[in-house]
A and B are shown apart, each in its own frame.
Chain A
């Protein structure tokens, strides 16, 4: 059974801090890993990673994949209150081409 585990479950930081969110996975025939941000409603897409060691960046957010150690991290630098959300990691595996989501990390950024 495919499995995706995110840590920590929740995190409280202050504006300006840097945070690192973790996603580890055990899946059959890995194809890609995706990060989503979920505020009060629907998840919105952040990154898709398919190759090890290549960092994806979007403003203050960046993510990298390690296919050997089977994990990914999502970094957010100079956090802002608007970064408060649940961050979801999902892995696409070849078995049925379905996405398996982790349980999410709830980030709260205090002013």
Chain B
């Protein structure tokens, strides 16, 4: 398995609280991504990064921000969590942009 870890793996939080999810890779891949997966919607891209401090928005970026200060870490922040952000969040990495994605184990986030 590609060296990708996500933390936490499970989180329950209340509406309005800030939440940060962490993705850590040991593969030194340039590209990192945050996806969310919901029934009926498949996987949807939230944000991605093409290098340290270089990030861009995906399909469903509203309500989320990201940061990448080191090659190995990509953080996803929900500034003020809402119930619509209850989902499973996957981090992914690749050597080429958007191709050959290796996914992390996922984080199940529940916003009550």
Residues of chain A having any CB pair with chain B under 8 Å: 4, 32, 34, 41-45, 48, 88, 90, 92, 97-104
Contact A42 B99 (CB under 8 A): no
Contact B101 A99 (CB under 8 A): yes
Contact A41 B105 (CB under 8 A): yes
Contact A103 B45 (CB under 8 A): no
Contact A42/B98 with A88-B42, A98-B45 known, Cβ cut-off 8 Å: no
Residues of chain B having any CB pair with chain A under 8 Å: 40-45, 48, 58-59, 90, 97-106
Contact A97 B42 (CB under 8 A): no
A29 to chain B, nearest CB (A): 13
Bound form: Cα–Cα A88–B37 in Å: 12
Bound form: Cα–Cα A88–B106 in Å: 16
Bound form: Cα–Cα A17–B40 in Å: 27
Find chain B residues with CB under 8 A from A97 CB. 97-98
Bound form: Cα–Cα A90–B45 in Å: 12
